[in-house]
Chains A and B, each alone.
Chain A
């Protein structure tokens, strides 16, 4: 062990490595390539992972939607084809009966699901947009970024059924002049004037809404359009540690119960589950990470075996030199250590260079994809991966060095010297 920390040892090894330049370079290239592939691939996979995470950043990943369709089975005297209508009262029942639910946001809309968008006017400008009747709780399920100075619908708006609205970036562009501050201004939605209280930013990645959707308080919507207790769909967020697929099943089963639908009738309520989709997508990213890990390590392995191979050849070439060293008093252990340390040292140099090169390429990729609309963010290789790779290289370098090292000492010094 003392041997490894001896400066003389390293001078000797460094001498041998730096003076056999071609051999050193050829040897290094193999491992360098391996570690480079490893870093670049796993960094890229990580970037994709990060990218997907960013895509889902503005929505609760453990969330689902449920809406009414029509029955496909007769039940308790009801005929097939009875349309299902979600009610506000369902919210309380669902919340009470399914403790896994964190938030429920009921929503009623115009301009989605086949209904016509609402003609909206401001001064000379106009457009037709979807309109949503929402509760404030909606923002706990899907984060809404509101531009400075504005806000989302609040409890007061609901309680007083105020005629206020939150508009999207597109509405802003189409209904207002450039540089005009929309907050406090009035727009006519259908026949009624609403005061703009906020502008929502379109979130990058997955979003539940378009950038031209207008939000008004649920209570206002219901009063204006006379929709009573009706709800078009529920956005439901489950707690983080809960299996949202199970919640989805529970919700639909409970709804069938409430609305007196055949418990077997899968078609009565439609649903969509974001958690499942997220699991699939992030599973893909994880798969990529794993794949790149496997490919990278295989490449490193190939590189290290290459080092072993070249060292083996070089040990053959250096038989005479090693014989001379042994005639001059090098013990087998010293000869062996020298070869192994050369192997480890070469592997390490190559590894560090590969890591630097890989990191460089990743940062180039990062700056190139920065402005692209592509789920790819901050491609970094986690430090443990890098350290792990270095460790693997030291271990492999040692193991592979053992073969030529053993060969170097297995030949008697006298035979080594006789070699021409």
Chain B
């Protein structure tokens, strides 16, 4: 599903250049649930953003579902993001003046799905994350966990090939984190490919594979026995 070869990324800061990713080689099969770990500043978000086509790589190659991702203009990148990728952010990033259902329906709008179908799908995915009754509520009326579940529903609504989650539980307490992880595991059970960045060991062990980043390279890449989050909920 994802194929990365010799990926390099530097940030230019005035005269200095900060070499963040120094040759990453890495691939992900369909249906995997991968945790990316590493200390702060090790380049986890940078990697995820490149995978998400929100940022560009300097060197190396990236292939997503057989499509080489190279020299995309912003329009093409937007279309690919819309078709291939779902994003889950640490700070949820819901649009505050839209209701839960409208937020979930938004990626479908950019897919030019009709209004009625959008609403139906939004409700369907809200139901999947257990928030159907909250469909008409604004984000400000939801708890953190609920917000993240709406964000997950939104990421799912476009039926992407890969879900990218940057510290999805970073802003949540542990109980709520497990609820969210339970949801992510179930989505993965249905065959969806998911990459998530986390700092927390327990969250990482709820994935099927853990990749460790250090100083811009992968220092460890291991399969783990998945701990089901269900038991903690």
Chain A residues near B (Cβ < 8 Å): 7-8, 11-12, 15-16, 19-20, 320-321, 323-334, 409, 412-414, 417
Contacts and interface: CB of A to CB of B under 8 A. Distances in A.
B115 A328 contact: no
Given A20-B97, A332-B75, A332-B78, A8 B109 contact: yes
Given A329-B82, A412-B54, A414-B55, 18 more contacts: A8-B114, A11-B115, A15-B102, A16-B97, A20-B97, A321-B96, A324-B95, A325-B110, A327-B52, A327-B81, A328-B81, A329-B79, A329-B83, A329-B110, A329-B158, A332-B78, A412-B55, A414-B49
A330 B81 CA distance: 9
Interface in B103-136: 106-107, 109-112, 114-115
Nearest to B157: A328
A330 B111 CA distance: 9
Contacts of A12: 109
Nearest to B160: A329
Contacts of A11: 115
A334 B158 CA distance: 18
B38 to A, nearest CB: 19
Contacts of B178: none
A97 to B, nearest CB: 81
Interface string B4-19: 0000000000000000
Contacts of A332: 74-75, 78
Contacts of A324: 93, 95
A153 to B, nearest CB: 79
A326 B82 CA distance: 9
A333 to B, nearest CB: 7
B147 interface: no
A372 to B, nearest CB: 51
Contact of B74 (A16, A20, A409): A409
A269 to B, nearest CB: 81
B98 A328 contact: no
A331 B154 contact: no
B62 interface: no
B110 A334 contact: yes
A317 to B, nearest CB: 11
Nearest to B52: A327
B83 to A, nearest CB: 8
Nearest first, the 3 A-B pairs at minimum CB distance are A329-B82, A19-B97, A329-B110
12 contacts: A8-B109, A15-B102, A20-B97, A321-B96, A323-B93, A325-B110, A328-B87, A328-B154, A329-B81, A329-B83, A330-B110, A331-B110
Contact of B110 (A19, A320, A328): A328
Contacts of B106: 325, 328
B115 A7 contact: yes
A69 to B, nearest CB: 82
B95 A321 contact: yes
Contact of A320 (B93, B102, B112): B93
A328 B97 contact: no
A278 B211 CA distance: 92
Contact of B107 (A8, A19, A328, A413): A328
A326 B78 contact: yes
Nearest to A323: B93
Interface string B87-101: 101000101111000
B63 to A, nearest CB: 20
Nearest to B112: A8
A413 B80 CA distance: 14
B227 to A, nearest CB: 30
Contact of A328 (B102, B112, B158): B158
Interface string B165-199: 00000000000000000000000000000000000
A412 B50 CA distance: 13
Given A326-B78, A334-B110, A413 B54 contact: yes
Contacts of B111: 329
Interface string B46-71: 00010010110000000000000000
B74 A331 contact: yes
Contacts of B98: 15, 19
Contacts of A334: 78, 110
Nearest to B76: A331
A326 B74 CA distance: 9
A363 B7 CA distance: 72
B23 to A, nearest CB: 21
A27 to B, nearest CB: 16
